[in-house]
Protein backbone atom coordinates (compact mmCIF):
# COMPACT_ATOMS: atom_id res chain seq x y z
CA UNK A 1 0.00 0.00 0.00
CA UNK A 2 1.09 3.55 -0.59
CA UNK A 3 1.59 5.98 2.22
CA UNK A 4 -0.12 9.34 2.06
CA UNK A 5 1.93 12.26 0.78
CA UNK A 6 2.93 14.97 3.20
CA UNK A 7 4.10 18.45 2.27
CA UNK A 8 7.79 18.36 1.47
CA UNK A 9 9.95 19.90 4.14
CA UNK A 10 13.67 20.43 4.10
CA UNK A 11 14.25 19.86 7.76
CA UNK A 12 12.16 18.12 10.37
CA UNK A 13 11.08 20.12 13.39
CA UNK A 14 13.23 18.17 15.84
CA UNK A 15 16.30 18.58 13.65
CA UNK A 16 15.55 22.31 13.44
CA UNK A 17 15.51 22.51 17.23
CA UNK A 18 18.84 20.67 17.43
CA UNK A 19 20.50 23.09 14.99
CA UNK A 20 18.86 26.07 16.68
CA UNK A 21 20.24 24.87 20.02
CA UNK A 22 23.71 24.41 18.53
CA UNK A 23 23.54 27.90 17.04
CA UNK A 24 22.41 29.45 20.32
CA UNK A 25 25.12 27.58 22.21
CA UNK A 26 27.80 28.73 19.75
CA UNK A 27 26.55 32.32 19.91
CA UNK A 28 26.45 32.34 23.72
CA UNK A 29 29.85 30.72 24.11
CA UNK A 30 31.40 33.04 21.52
CA UNK A 31 29.89 36.08 23.23
CA UNK A 32 31.04 34.93 26.69
CA UNK A 33 34.51 34.15 25.34
CA UNK A 34 34.76 37.59 23.72
CA UNK A 35 33.67 39.26 26.99
CA UNK A 36 36.39 37.35 28.88
CA UNK A 37 39.02 38.32 26.29
CA UNK A 38 37.74 41.91 26.42
CA UNK A 39 38.16 42.05 30.21
CA UNK A 40 41.68 40.59 29.82
CA UNK A 41 42.48 43.42 27.41
CA UNK A 42 40.89 46.18 29.53
CA UNK A 43 37.82 46.66 31.74
CA UNK A 44 36.40 49.19 29.25
CA UNK A 45 36.42 46.59 26.45
CA UNK A 46 35.00 43.97 28.80
CA UNK A 47 32.01 46.11 29.80
CA UNK A 48 31.49 47.28 26.22
CA UNK A 49 31.36 43.69 24.95
CA UNK A 50 29.19 42.64 27.91
CA UNK A 51 26.47 45.20 27.19
CA UNK A 52 26.87 45.60 23.40
CA UNK A 53 27.57 42.21 21.78
CA UNK A 54 27.86 43.78 18.32
CA UNK A 55 30.85 45.75 19.59
CA UNK A 56 32.71 42.52 18.94
CA UNK A 57 32.85 43.54 15.28
CA UNK A 58 34.94 46.57 16.29
CA UNK A 59 36.89 44.58 18.86
CA UNK A 60 37.97 42.03 16.26
CA UNK A 61 39.66 44.81 14.24
CA UNK A 62 41.25 46.49 17.28
CA UNK A 63 42.53 43.25 18.82
CA UNK A 64 42.74 40.88 15.85
CA UNK A 65 44.89 38.17 17.44
CA UNK A 66 42.94 38.09 20.71
CA UNK A 67 39.45 38.65 19.38
CA UNK A 68 39.11 36.85 16.06
CA UNK A 69 38.27 33.35 17.35
CA UNK A 70 35.68 34.34 19.99
CA UNK A 71 33.96 36.88 17.74
CA UNK A 72 33.84 34.50 14.77
CA UNK A 73 32.48 31.76 17.05
CA UNK A 74 29.74 34.17 18.14
CA UNK A 75 28.99 35.14 14.52
CA UNK A 76 28.93 31.46 13.45
CA UNK A 77 26.29 30.77 16.11
CA UNK A 78 24.22 33.75 14.98
CA UNK A 79 24.54 32.57 11.36
CA UNK A 80 23.38 29.03 12.24
CA UNK A 81 20.39 30.43 14.14
CA UNK A 82 19.56 32.75 11.25
CA UNK A 83 19.70 29.92 8.70
CA UNK A 84 17.50 27.66 10.82
CA UNK A 85 14.92 30.41 11.25
CA UNK A 86 15.09 31.32 7.55
CA UNK A 87 14.37 27.71 6.60
CA UNK A 88 11.66 27.39 9.23
CA UNK A 89 9.82 30.48 7.97
CA UNK A 90 10.85 30.34 4.31
CA UNK A 91 7.24 30.50 3.14
CA UNK A 92 6.51 33.62 5.17
CA UNK A 93 9.73 35.55 4.53
CA UNK A 94 11.17 37.13 1.45
CA UNK A 95 9.82 39.11 -1.45
CA UNK A 96 8.60 36.07 -3.38
CA UNK A 97 6.60 34.43 -0.58
CA UNK A 98 3.31 35.97 -1.79
CA UNK A 99 4.01 34.85 -5.35
CA UNK A 100 4.72 31.31 -4.17
CA UNK A 101 1.59 31.29 -2.01
CA UNK A 102 -0.56 32.55 -4.89
CA UNK A 103 0.86 30.05 -7.38
CA UNK A 104 -1.77 27.50 -8.34
CA UNK A 105 -1.09 23.95 -7.33
CA UNK A 106 0.15 21.74 -10.11
CA UNK A 107 -1.36 18.52 -8.84
CA UNK A 108 -5.11 18.48 -8.67
CA UNK A 109 -7.32 15.61 -7.80
CA UNK A 110 -9.53 14.67 -10.71
CA UNK A 111 -13.14 15.72 -10.65
CA UNK A 112 -15.39 13.00 -9.31
CA UNK A 113 -16.54 10.89 -12.20
CA UNK A 114 -20.17 10.15 -12.75
CA UNK A 115 -21.23 6.82 -11.31
CA UNK A 116 -20.96 4.18 -13.97
CA UNK A 117 -22.40 0.72 -13.70
CA UNK A 118 -19.93 -1.71 -12.19
CA UNK A 119 -18.95 -4.36 -14.68
CA UNK A 120 -17.52 -7.45 -13.03
CA UNK A 121 -13.86 -7.85 -13.92
CA UNK A 122 -11.39 -10.62 -13.72
CA UNK A 123 -9.55 -10.18 -10.36
CA UNK A 124 -6.15 -10.30 -12.10
CA UNK A 125 -7.20 -7.58 -14.55
CA UNK A 126 -8.36 -5.33 -11.69
CA UNK A 127 -5.08 -5.83 -9.84
CA UNK A 128 -3.13 -4.92 -13.00
CA UNK A 129 -5.16 -1.70 -13.28
CA UNK A 130 -4.47 -0.94 -9.63
CA UNK A 131 -0.76 -1.63 -10.16
CA UNK A 132 -0.74 0.96 -12.96
CA UNK A 133 -2.63 3.41 -10.74
CA UNK A 134 -0.01 2.87 -8.03
CA UNK A 135 2.76 3.75 -10.51
CA UNK A 136 0.86 6.90 -11.52
CA UNK A 137 0.37 7.94 -7.89
CA UNK A 138 4.05 7.38 -7.09
CA UNK A 139 5.04 9.45 -10.11
CA UNK A 140 2.70 12.25 -8.99
CA UNK A 141 4.13 12.07 -5.49
CA UNK A 142 7.66 12.42 -6.91
CA UNK A 143 6.59 15.50 -8.93
CA UNK A 144 4.97 17.15 -5.90
CA UNK A 145 6.51 20.57 -5.39
CA UNK A 146 7.90 21.67 -1.98
CA UNK A 147 5.36 23.67 -0.02
CA UNK A 148 2.42 22.51 -2.16
CA UNK A 149 0.15 21.66 0.74
CA UNK A 150 -3.04 21.65 -1.36
CA UNK A 151 -1.50 19.28 -3.91
CA UNK A 152 -0.21 17.04 -1.12
CA UNK A 153 -3.63 16.97 0.51
CA UNK A 154 -5.34 16.09 -2.79
CA UNK A 155 -2.79 13.36 -3.44
CA UNK A 156 -3.22 11.99 0.09
CA UNK A 157 -6.97 11.72 -0.46
CA UNK A 158 -6.48 9.95 -3.77
CA UNK A 159 -3.99 7.55 -2.16
CA UNK A 160 -6.56 6.78 0.53
CA UNK A 161 -9.14 5.96 -2.14
CA UNK A 162 -6.55 3.81 -3.93
CA UNK A 163 -5.77 1.91 -0.72
CA UNK A 164 -9.51 1.26 -0.17
CA UNK A 165 -9.86 -0.02 -3.76
CA UNK A 166 -6.79 -2.23 -3.34
CA UNK A 167 -8.12 -3.68 -0.11
CA UNK A 168 -11.45 -4.46 -1.78
CA UNK A 169 -9.74 -6.01 -4.82
CA UNK A 170 -7.49 -8.14 -2.63
CA UNK A 171 -10.52 -9.26 -0.61
CA UNK A 172 -12.32 -10.25 -3.82
CA UNK A 173 -9.29 -12.14 -5.05
CA UNK A 174 -9.02 -14.11 -1.81
CA UNK A 175 -12.75 -14.94 -1.83
CA UNK A 176 -12.63 -16.13 -5.50
CA UNK A 177 -9.39 -18.12 -5.10
CA UNK A 178 -9.81 -21.86 -5.76
Q: Which residues contact 30 (CB under 8 A, 6 or more apart)?
A: 70, 71, 72, 73, 74, 75, 76, 77
Residue whose C-alpha is closest to residue 70's, from 92, 40, 101: 40
Q: Where are the domains of the chain?
A: 13-99, 104-110+117-176
User: How many Cα atoms are found within 13 Å in the side-chain-facing hemisphere of 44?
Assistant: 1
Angle at 112 between CA 111 and CA 114, to 5 degrees: 125
Segment 73-93 mean pLDDT:
84
Global confidence as pTM: 0.46
Segment 21-42 mean pLDDT:
93
Q: What is the reported pLDDT for 95?
A: 54
Amino acid sequence: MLEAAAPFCVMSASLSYVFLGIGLLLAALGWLWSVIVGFQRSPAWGFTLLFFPLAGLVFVFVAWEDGKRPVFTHLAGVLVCGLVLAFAFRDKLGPFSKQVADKPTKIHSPAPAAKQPVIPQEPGQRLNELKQKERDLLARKARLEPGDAAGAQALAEEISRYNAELKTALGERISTAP
